[in-house]
Each structure stands twice: as C-alpha cells, then as structure tokens.
Amino acid sequence: MDPIRNPYAPGAGQRPPELAGRDRELKQFEITLERVASGRPERSLVLSGLRGVGKTVLLNALRSLAVQRYWGTGKIEARPDQSIRIPIAQAVHAAVRDIGHRHRDPERVDGVSGVVKAFAQRTGMADRKGHRWTPPMDVAATSGRADSGDLELDLTELFNDVGELARDLGVGVAVCIDEMQDITSAELSALCAACHEISQQGGPLIVVGAGLPHLPVALATSKSYAERLFHYRSVDRLPRVEADRALLIPASTEDVGYDDDALAELYRLTDGYPYFVQAYGKVAWDCAPASPITAADVKEAAPLAEAELAVGFFGARFERATPAERDYMRVMAELGLETDDGPVSTADVAGRLGRKPSSLSPARDGLIKKGLVFAEERGVVRFTVPHFGQFLRTQRD
Ligand SMILES: Nc1ncnc2c1ncn2[C@@H]1O[C@H](COP(=O)(O)OP(=O)(O)OP(=O)(O)O)[C@@H](O)[C@H]1O
Ligand SMILES: [Mg+2]
C-alpha cells in the first residue's frame, strides 16, 4: 500500500500514531497534576522499563498533559558522567519561560530567572563538559540563592523558588528526566533530598523520571526513603488487545484493516513490544498490496522488518560495545536460551568464559554504563533490549 500514507512510527521517542495501553498512567497523572497544583501531598513519578517499551513517548505525553494545564515544564536527558546541574538549569529555565509571560509581576519573574542563572553558573569545569548552554543573559544572576555549590541545597532552593512562581498562577512545575538511571548516585541522592523537601513544604513542583528497569533500585540505593518518595510505574509490553489497537486505529484512519490471522501473527512476532509493533506494522503495510493486511503479507514482511531491526535497533547498540563486552553478551545470550533471556548469573558467564568473575567486572560495568545490560540485584545481569538474546543467537549460526 501507499508508503506515503504509512502511519506507523518506529524510532526512539517517535510519537506513535496511537498511544495504546497507557490510559491508566495518563489518568493517574491528571489526578497528580490537580493535587499538586492545589498544594496537596503527592509523590513524584518514576517510569521504568526495557528499551523500546515507550518510556520516552509516555514521558512526553505526561508533559503535554501538564502543558495543557498551563504548567511550566522542562525536560532533560541524563547522560553518564555528566552532572545534571546545567541540564536542570535549562529545564527549569524553560519552565520559568512557560509561566513567566503570564505572570503579572515581571520583576518577580526576573528574580527567579536570576536564581536559575546563579544555579547554572555555580559549576565546576567538570560539570560543563559537553554543554554549550549559556544561561539567560537578559537578567542578572542573584546571589545567595541556589548558588552554594552544594547540589542538594541548591536544587531545593531552585525548586522552591520556581514552584512558588507557579503557585502565584495556581499551577505547578513538572521537571521531566529521561534516562534517569544515568545520573550518578551522589546527584540522585541530592535530587531525592530536594524532592523530599519540596513535597514536605507542599511546593507545586514534581519530578517525572523515566529509565531502565534498575532505576527504582538505583534510587533506593541513593536514598533510603526514595521508595516512599515516588510512585513507581513499570512500562511494559502491550497486551494483545492494546497491541492490536496500536495497529488498527492508525490504519482505520486510512480505511485500512487487518485480518485476524495477520494480527495474531504480528503479536507472535512482536510480543507486544511497542517498538516492534511499529516496526513490523510499518513493513507489513508497505508489503500488503491492498486492505485488509493478511497473514501472508505479514509473513512476507517479517524478514524485512527483522533485517531493519538487526541494523537499526540491535546492530547499532551491539556496535557500541567493545570486543570484550561483545563476548560477554554472546555468552549471556547462550545462557539465556535456557531461561528465555531472564536474569543470567555473572558467575555462570565467567564460568563459561573460563575466567575469574572479578576479571570480567570491567566488561559488565561497561555494558551497564552503555545501557545494554542491567543488574537489578547483585550477581545477575539481563539485557535491557527486548529480544536481544534472540538476535545474538541468530548472529552466531
Ligand atoms: N503505547 C504505545 N503504543 C504504540 N506505540 C508505542 C507506544 N509507546 C511507544 N510506542 C512506539 O515504540 C517506539 C519506542 O518508544 P520510546 O522511544 O518511547 O521507547 P523507550 O522506552 O523510551 O526506549 P529507550 O529505552 O530505548 O529510550 C516508538 O516508535 C514509539 O512510537
Ligand atoms: Mg527513551
């Protein structure tokens, strides 16, 4: 069928034509927004899940809900080895701009912008690595607020001031943090402490985080009370009905349908993982000569979709790994055959490679840092990318 009308959107952070299976999260967040804006106690939110399940897309959708309510919003994407100070300053600055132009007292807005600037400028050279952002030049940095150099204290004052600015307008501020697992433990701890303080004061500011499945553990390790500070939502693959909706609704707007067998075959191939749903849906559409899309069309499309995923989704990630890290993952995949790619013991990996476990720590740590593998508990590892073990096993033969 006409590839120009193809509605599907495989790609990192690509907004899907139909956001399937996330109604509960959206509803819940609407309640959170109302509660926070009215000064009621509410927890910040953390989304976690495997690669390609739709965390970024959901985070963006939640942010849109806040924007619709005239909240100030900003977003950062955390990176390993990079301080959050400047990215947070940028995000908070964006939020101040959102609300600032509606505020009746421009001097007060400038005052808060000045605090953002002071916060941003309090960086060591190390914090500036990879950042070109220069804080707003049209206001003078204030002094004595959010500029102590202690991230916990500075974040608390920054969040407090921007929250109060939003409160003047009866709204709140949402700071969205993607790839949150990449924040260092020390900075996560500072962030938790600041959120804790703000929520105790009933300040209308929330953090919405998203990250890999070990994010809740990373948060709990950084601060013991993190468990009570956030609502944790695991973002997972879609059940059959929702995966079908993700395919059917966009197609129906183009007057295209699917045979039941085609939908069943697609679910077998994708396991309901949103990235795969988009990827297979896209190729099936292009392969099908006419509506409805049939199981035969899907069968024809499957190897093409697989080939595309092998390059874009799996291959690109595999290539980021060093030779030692690749060996490590190949063994994980071999061992994963027995457990359907469940957690693999690091001791077993070492045993299979004939090495001492300690000598493999650099490879394991490297893979965790690159976001290819995660460790929810000591002594085991798992792939962050769904079907990755399966992909590596087919590469071998
Ligand atoms: N609820 C959904 N319904 C249909 N498609 C979805 C849904 N959520 C995400 N997608 C699609 O899945 C793909 C991956 O989404 P996204 O980039 O948000 O995943 P992610 O969890 O952030 O992945 P990563 O961990 O790699 O950053 C995109 O192509 C997106 O359009
Ligand atoms: Mg993402």
What's the confidence (pLDDT) of residue 395? 84
Q: In the prediction, which pLDDT does 39 show?
A: 87
Q: Which-ligand-closest: CA of 11?
A: 1
Task: Tell me what pLDDT residue 139 has.
Answer: 84
Alpha helices in the chain (DSSP H): 23-37, 55-68, 85-100, 106-121, 125-128, 151-168, 185-200, 215-222, 226-229, 240-252, 260-270, 274-287, 295-309, 316-318, 323-339, 346-353, 361-369, 388-396
Mutational test site, ligand 1, from 275, 308, 383, max ligand atoms within 8 Å of CB: 275
Counting as low any pLDDT under 70, the low residues of the chain are 124-137, 396-397
pLDDT at residue 135 in the model:
63
Q: How far, in Å, is the centroid of ligand 2 from the Cα of 243? A: 19
Which of the listed residues 277, 278, 309, 313 should we mutate to test ligand 1's pocket, taking the one with most ligand atoms within 8 A of CB? 278
Output the average pLDDT for the chain.
94
Atom of ligand 1 nearest to the CA of 179: 27
- Find the residues whose C-beta lies inside 6 A of ligand 1: 9-14, 16, 19-22, 49, 51-57, 246, 274-275, 277-278
Distances (CA, A) of 70 to 60, 96, 146, 165, 174: 15, 12, 25, 13, 11
Starting at the edge strand found earlier in the chain, the sheet holding 173-178 runs 72-77, 173-178, 205-211, 44-48, 230-234
Q: Which residues surround ligand 2, an ion (CB under 5 A)?
A: 56
Residue nearest (by alpha carbon) to ligand 1 atom 25? 51
